[in-house]
Structure 1
């Protein structure tokens, strides 16, 4: 038999990289940073090896370390000094995230994204204003429309502090429209919105909740985050956010939802982001510690798969390590 089509011809050294279909660079990556108003020194996050909570006065130094690897953008998560029922420290002028934004933008050239949510700031750990009822009732859920005003205030507070982009993550209906209106009304028409358009009620968030001290005090988030079984619903969510003015559409988590990343890439002519979440990061570390996987290789392969599925931007805890290799 005479073979006329031999794909292996293009797999030899020299040509292999020339015909590579998917490229990944440090400029595609966004590194999460946890800033802790209660900390006086860096605190390692046990469930996320290599990551720490940093005090506000070390936030700029931490971001400078990230930028030295070639990563150009960070997303900030704050741990406040106190919490209450409405998460008021999220939108306070002197809130932890606002203080960190001022420090980082004054001392670095990093592109700074602010996560806009209330779960890290509420004493109940949910992403907004709770329905009236018993404080420990597991059936309670977040009151959607009352939460919109607080999200808008948080976004404006971050913009006033100098943030480059805001990223609402609460899966509140109408959040993009409310934030866009508030930003424009405050004179921040040029601040873009990266919406967590398809955020699933996932089991892969555990380590993040340890890192950001944002776990619900009771119940769960199934009444406002998406059902992991749903794919078509993601298009509905993303369409609403795009119509409301989202500049970037995000899928979270990434690896279990690559089909959704691909769907959004095909349907929308705007940047698509994917969040390679803490559980995805932690499980690869755990397997590597057992000697079952090569951590550097599987981290790179994971991020390449997310990019191949259609993501333009990837939020990942592997950002620094992979950027240095790239």
Structure 2
């Protein structure tokens, strides 16, 4: 009790680093990168200042730049030249992501290359798998036919050289199905980082511009989670852990730190995705001069790690890695 106990004693500026409980490092960060099969030069993403869609022929240069900045891992998204109801481009041998994986690994073999296993960028309707009539007569995402599609996508990405696959479609049984397919194809050592608790969030808006993944009807609330539900959120990650996920993920990150902390208790490594809307808000406020972009970004990432994230997927990965190296 005061005056015997004075917590400010350890807050002297030269002592502060000795007692910092949570340390953010460049190794914690994963950079999302978008590759577009339809372009020849990089195109800026208007709703995400500082982010770009890259042509496949830029993959090597982008990988080298990120590695030089201190980024150790990337997660790749693709915009194909053609889309159809069956998302055939998603698992094509020469698909946009498959080509990008090979190009990145060729020049940066130590870079951890993660691939998003989903179909929203590849379907002409924009939903995350196969759609059809449900037993209630509605047109919606069909779970089990979509599982077969995810198996094909994951195997094709592993064949291209992906170090890790990350299913994001929120299908029941997605981890078990993908694990079975990878093992059967000889990729038992490829880990699965499951988007195990992914909310139907309004903060994804800019991503849909970036990945051209808007949907033509309905919404995704029948497969992504209600932001109001905490117990169900935990159950989703718990089930994916039981199915064999190697890493669990909470998406979005900053607005769901309570869920992140709870999922941490399952015992597996945990990733968190600081999504496009979170990034865009920081960028917009910084552009207005209302916040210190570097300080607020590093604070937000540190808080995500403090809540329990081992890995953080963030569009700030390149900038944050540089800022952290400057502080050393």
Q: TM-score range by the shorter chain?
A: over 0.9
The yes-or-no answer on 1:43 pairing with 2:43 is: yes
Q: CA RMSD in A?
A: 1.3
Matches within 5 A, 1:115-264: 115-132=116-133, 140-264=139-263
Q: Are 2:300 and 1:302 equivalent residues in the alignment?
A: yes
Shift, 1:2, TM fit: 6.5
Deviation of residue 107 (structure 1)?
Answer: 1.2
Partner residue, 2:30: 30
Task: Give the Å deviation of 1:75.
Answer: 0.1
1:69-100 CA-partner distances (Å, limit 9, x unpaired):
11100000000000000111001111100011
> Structure 1 runs of 4+ off > 4 angstroms?
none
Instruction: Tell me the TM-score normalized by structure 2.
Output: 0.96
Separation in structure 1 between the aligned mates of residue 254 and residue 226 of structure 2, nearest angstrom: 16
Indicate the residue corresponding to 2:283 in structure 1. Answer: 285
Is 1:319 the counterpart of 2:320? The answer is no
Count matched residues. 321
Aligned to 2:84: 84
Aligned-pair distance for 1:140? 2.5
Q: Deviations over 1:41-68 (max 9, x none)?
A: 0000011111100011111211211111
Q: Distance in 2 between matches of 1:13 and 1:172?
A: 49
For 2:60 and 2:250, how far apart are their aligned partners in 1? 28
Give the match for residue 60 of structure 1.
60
Provide the rounded CA distance (Å) in 2 between the counterparts of 1:7 and 1:217. Answer: 56
2:250 aligned counterpart, secondary structure:
strand
- For residues 190 and 85 of structure 2, the distance between their equivalents in structure 1, rounded to whole angstroms, comes to 28
C-alpha distance 141-294 of structure 1, shift in aligned 2 (>3 A): same
Tell me the alpha carbon deviations over residues 258-289 of structure 1, each in whole angstroms, 9 at most, x when there is no partner: 000000112x2210000000000001111111
Structure 1 pair 2/277, CA: closer, same or farther in 2 (3 Å)? closer
**What is the rounded CA distance, in whole Å, between the counterparts of 2:203 and 2:38 in structure 1?**
26
Distance (Å, rounded) in 2 between the aligned partners of 1:248 and 1:149 = 21
- Give the Cα–Cα distance (whole angstroms) in 2 for the partners of residues 80 and 157 of structure 1: 15
